[in-house]
Structure 1
């Protein structure tokens, strides 16, 4: 639906928002643009909130759907983070020690969130 008073705008359904989050990679985009453009960042976050509320609702979709493909964990080991960043695991440990990448200790291992790794990657690219 196209609407708007200050120029054209598009309203999308919660189901469409959930589809975009899942299949168009809006989560990764939201992480990449965070802090670069406040308006875009805010609107991508709003799409995420709507998508999450739709996924949590009991209505679902009409007809049978195939199961969502398994995604890897939100938490990464230092080796997995290093692979995503294109650096060595020791460099990830050093970034954690500097405070550049927030991490949690699980036993004697570090775990970093996928989102924090994306933030670190974006900061390195800038």
Structure 2
């Protein structure tokens, strides 16, 4: 899933006023890490246009998450690490084609989001997709 890195101006469109087009993967990232879904719920009803845009972001995020991970819900840390949506650093390394040590280094450098559950790193499929997309964007530059 390689997407060429685009300048910020590539996401701005419109003749009657600027409109920003947000890729679905970025919508999912915003929901998860910027807590945009919480903002949508908190501010519901305060501005109809803002409501409509935040719902559109939510729908795009759900669509991307479903195609990327097979589930519309972002995985939350669980005590049981054997759930399908979680993988170990070794499993992530196999999927990425890198070493387990490289995965742990990416976690340490905060380039790959992971959860420490009972002393072991667990990575969701969604976090792996975000990491892969960010890595591909950086190499395309």
Larger radius of gyration: 1
TM-score class normalised by the smaller sequence: 0.3 to 0.5
Q: Structure 2-normalised TM-score?
A: 0.42
Q: Structure 1-normalised TM-score?
A: 0.47
> Relative CO higher for 1 or 2, CA cutoff 8 Å, sep ≥ 6?
2
